[in-house]
Structure 1
Amino acid sequence: MVVPKAKVPDILQLYHSGCSGGHLGVKRYLLKIRERFYWVHCRDDVEDWCRKCTSCAAVKGPQIRSRGALKLYNVGAPWERIAIDVAGPFPETESGNKYFMVVMDYFTKWPEVFAIPNQKASTVADKLVLKSSVVLEYL
């Protein structure tokens, strides 16, 4: 059946979002319409309709996926640059600690884990200064 241009949006709506539709994608949607109908530039209209459909766009997600830039850190000596992470809260120990502070050296990849009672900056700094001096004595 040849469809007049005025009825094309109705057919597109019915076959794409209606009861027999289902947001099938361009290829299957085009095959389904071509089984019964014909009009000039049918493929272009179907592609345009699918591109403008918010439900189809939400399922597909973004076309360009960005990734974080990898950076190279030049480190020349142990404990010159460190990474600090605080994990928790965990069940409280007998000594009152709820958190773990993980300190890792970028140069040697050596991790040190310390138990701390809270994640306040003063607690983290005190533990870091106290324990780093002990660790540096080993080096």
Structure 2
Amino acid sequence: MYEKIKEKYYWKNMFEDIKAYAKTCNSCQKRGKSDKKNELFLIKNKYIIVAIDYFTKWPEAKATEKDNAETVTEFMRKLYADMDIRRK
């Protein structure tokens, strides 16, 4: 609770005030302190290719493992093929 509040507010003895409030707050007592850490998943796709249609401003994006010309070329070919289908 303190971490969230300190992002936007500050006052003297803020930590102690928040701690005292949390001890008397029914919702805080029911919820309890969360010591659980969020699990970080490793993702293969390290890069994102983004293209935006100049006229319509329509964005297209693809997450990819590689940042090479072959990957970009494949992305552009699929993009042009999809655009051709949409126009028909």
Normalising by structure 1, what TM-score?
0.30
Whose Rg is larger?
A: 1
Normalising by structure 2, what TM-score?
0.45
* Greater percentage in helix: 2
Q: Considering Cα pairs closer than 8 Å and 6+ residues apart, tell me whether 1 or 2 has the greater RCO.
A: 2
